[in-house]
Amino acid sequence: MDTTLQDPLVGQLLDGRYRVDARIAVGGMATVYRAVDTRLDRVLALKVMHPTLAADASFVDRFIREAKSVARLAHPNVVQVFDQGTDGSYVYLAMEYVAGCTLRDVLRERGALQPRAALDILEPVLAALGAAHRAGFVHRDMKPENVLIGDDGRVKVADFGLVRSVGTVTSTTGAVLGTVSYLAPEQIEHGTADPRVDVYACGVMLYEMLTGGKPHTGETPAQVLYQHLHADVPPPSAAVPGLPYELDELTASATARTPDLRPHDAVALLAQAREARAALSADQLDAVPPQALAAEHDNAEDRTSVIPRALTTPLRVLPVDGDDEDPAVRSDRTSRLERPPVPAPRRRPRPPRAVVTVAAAVLLVLGLGAGVWYINSGQFTRVPAVLGKTQEQAEARLTDAGLEVGDVEHAYSDTVRPGTIISTDPEPGSRIRQNDSVTLTVSDGPQTVKVPNLAGYRLDKARDVLKDEGLEPGMVTREFSDEVERGFVIGTEPVAGTERKAGSAIALTVSKGSPVDVPDVVGQDLADAREQLAQAGLKVRVAERRVHSEYEQGQVARQSPGAGDRAAEGDTVTLTVSKGPVMVEVPDVVGDSVDEAKDKLEAAGFQVDEDRGLLGLFGDTVKEQSVAGGEQAPEGSTITITIR
């Protein structure tokens, strides 16, 4: 059954602009619709807060915080927010519509993925999170359901509804907000949320993509939480034999139970992921995994939940032996990823003399062959993987590989930490002659731009100025203003003069002009309602679908925005016209007792009024009724019975 037919928003025009076509999904806080922006003629997703929550200021603040946070992230792998506003009791976000599926859908259908596919999904996710982390935000609810894969193959991160500033603590008293299977130990124990909780969740997702199953499972959420605190995520190769050691190491680094042993943010983990990819051969990347762990899971573990702290226990940290590895990439993999010791060779009996003679001849031939190999191939080596390393570390690796350090170039980068390697020429893994030089490109971090003062600009002009300055126009929020003319910019977020990286989205607040009180036209004839709204400076749209109501046919049954709401001059009010009341046959109650008559009439949907007069004060029999039995009357109307 198509439940969208019962949704009152489907078929409506929200805020005089967004035509709601179909319902996509329903969540605990909002419903997502596919809609069309009638001004720009484009399909988008409309996230509308449930009206029952719109009266709660904390829910509205969180909803708008999501919009503002995501609007500041101008990144191709983040679902873009276009607009935010209200229409009567509806609070909404207008967002990019991604036609496709989620990573959860892919895992359900395919189970474990090839390493190349897993990295192809992981890397854009980390790029998106890296942009958020460098902008000062943490997602806090990374899971396959929030990774969208478009029909064109693009990967995007969605649902920043739990986004928080770096370093904040969950505000739910005695509880943890998140999804059980992907919570980092420090989220469970302390409620803290810095970029490393997203790194941990991505490590769990990587394990799930490589194996088709989750690393920690249990019959109850408490059992899963306990494992996060007290058990390491096992290496993926334990579930899928043959997976390369580099992928075990990458998973272990991301899911270290001690936060300090993880990469400090998604950008650092992205560098490790690219280094791991460069170290793998084409056969290793394209190895087809067994499907023994086809994704069977309890959907309850995939929902964002408030987890009572009573389910958690104190974090126990296992000691890790120190070494001289870079702290940014060191993990607690020491104890669980060491390769098993190589057994000592067994002593073999001495071969007969004839065998020795034959072996000598073979070795002579092999020696000549080795000389030919050295001339043709022994002079070559491979460019080592140095992406994400500091310049000093990269130069040391090149020297150890017998290569020269060539030119050192610099470039801006939104995702690679300043002072670390963005790329090499030739690329890592390329075949190169011994003693040849390798050019290094070092990151200077993101290019920064000052936000211009756009107050008083028309919206189209303000957008042009932002693009000229190397910034992107972001979400547009409209507010009433008695001082700024309709359609002109009131201010920006961040404010003018603030430095932001080039390409960042700048949110604009635009004037809706002076507010207009919406008149009450419910119950009026449609023509009269149109005239009254026009006199108030408002436009009228009549909904295609008519409804039964207490009002006569052709009168206005309801309006949006409602009476008393504020609108801007030129805004649109949607009117729904009445088809008239539902007509119901009136039962014949003449001759019945008063109680019997009232029961029959009320059961038929009518109100009942008694007329006793002087003669009926002590009577109990119905002598007359205002509408005769068998005739039609509006449902809910009043039937008067005369008692004698």
Res 172: pLDDT: 36
Contact 331, 256 (CB under 8 A): yes
Query: Rounded distance, CA 458 to CA 473, Å?
Result: 13
How many Cα neighbours within 13 Å face the side chain of 298?
Answer: 12
Query: Rounded distance, CA 87 to CA 559, Å?
Result: 11
Contact 581, 550 (CB under 8 A): yes
Query: Rounded distance, CA 629 to CA 585, Å?
Result: 8
Res 28: pLDDT: 66
Res 644: pLDDT: 81
Beta bridge partners of 583: 634
State residue 186 phi and psi, 5-degree precision: -70, -25
Residue of 262, 187, 261 lying closest to 224 (CA atoms): 187
Report helix, strand or coil for 579.
coil
Query: Which helix or strand (DSSP H or E) is residue 631 part of?
Result: none
- Residue indicated by tokens 């004698």: 644
Mean pLDDT lowest for which of 70-74, 139-143, 323-327? 323-327
Residue of 611, 641, 616 lying closest to 629 (CA atoms): 641
Largest Cα separation within the chain, whole Å, is 140
Contact 65, 163 (CB under 8 A): yes
What is the gyration radius of the CA atoms in the chain, in angstroms? Answer: 35
State residue 383 phi and psi, 5-degree precision: -70, 125
Contacts of 577 (CB under 8 A, 6+ apart): 526, 542, 543, 546, 547, 554, 555, 556, 557
Beta bridge partners of 78: 157
Contact 11, 544 (CB under 8 A): yes
Query: Rounded distance, CA 28 to CA 30, Å?
Result: 6
Is 0.85 topped by the overall pTM?
Answer: no
Query: Rounded distance, CA 522 to CA 544, Å?
Result: 17
Tell me: pLDDT of 167 over 50.
Answer: no
Query: Rounded distance, CA 21 to CA 152, Å?
Result: 23
Amino acid residing at 245:
Y
- Give the Cα-Cα-Cα angle 403, 407, 411 (nearest 5 degrees): 125
State residue 639 phi and psi, 5-degree precision: -105, 125
Instruction: End-to-end CA distance of the chain: give it in Å, rounded.
Output: 53
Handedness of CA 393, 396, 402, 408 (dihedral sign): positive
Tell me how crowded residue 371 is: count the other CB atoms within 10 A of its CB: 11
Query: Rounded distance, CA 472 to CA 487, Å?
Result: 19
pLDDT digits (tens, 9 = 90+) for 359-403: 444 444 444 344 433 334 446 888 888 888 899 999 999 998 899
Mean pLDDT lowest for which of 263-272, 282-291, 318-327, 424-433? 318-327
Look up residue 461 and give its DSSP letter.
H
Which strands sit side by side in the sheet containing 572-577, from one edge to the other?
539-542, 572-577, 556-560
Mean pLDDT of 475-501: 90
Q: Count of residues for the chain?
A: 644
Residue of 538, 540, 532, 535 lying closest to 513 (CA atoms): 538
Mean pLDDT lowest for which of 8-22, 99-113, 245-259, 317-331? 317-331
pLDDT digits (tens, 9 = 90+) for 88-123: 788 898 999 998 888 998 999 889 999 999 999 999
Band of pLDDT at residue 302, cut at 50, 70 and 90:
low
Band of pLDDT at residue 339, cut at 50, 70 and 90:
very low
Domains and CATH numbers, the chain: 3-96 (3.30.200.20), 100-316+328-337 (1.10.510.10), 380-443 (3.30.10.20), 448-507 (3.30.10.20), 515-577 (3.30.10.20), 583-643 (3.30.10.20)
Tell me: pLDDT of 346 over 60.
Answer: no
Residue of 376, 381, 378 lying closest to 403 (CA atoms): 381
Q: Which two tokens stand for residue 230?
A: 């007290």
Report helix, strand or coil for 547.
strand
Query: Which helix or strand (DSSP H or E) is residue 158 part of?
Result: none
State residue 154 phi and psi, 5-degree precision: -70, 145
Tell me: pLDDT of 314 over 60.
Answer: no
Catalytic residues, by residue number, are: 141
Query: Which helix or strand (DSSP H or E) is residue 290 part of?
Result: none
Contact 83, 475 (CB under 8 A): yes
605: left (phi over 0), alpha (psi -120 to 50) or beta: left
Mean pLDDT of 490-499: 92
Contacts of 26 (CB under 8 A, 6+ apart): 32
Handedness of CA 190, 191, 195, 196 (dihedral sign): positive
What are the CA-CA distances from residue 393 to residues 325, 388, 389, 438, 440 (Å)?
A: 11, 10, 6, 14, 12
Res 373: pLDDT: 38
Mean pLDDT of 448-453: 92
Query: Rounded distance, CA 233 to CA 341, Å?
Result: 22
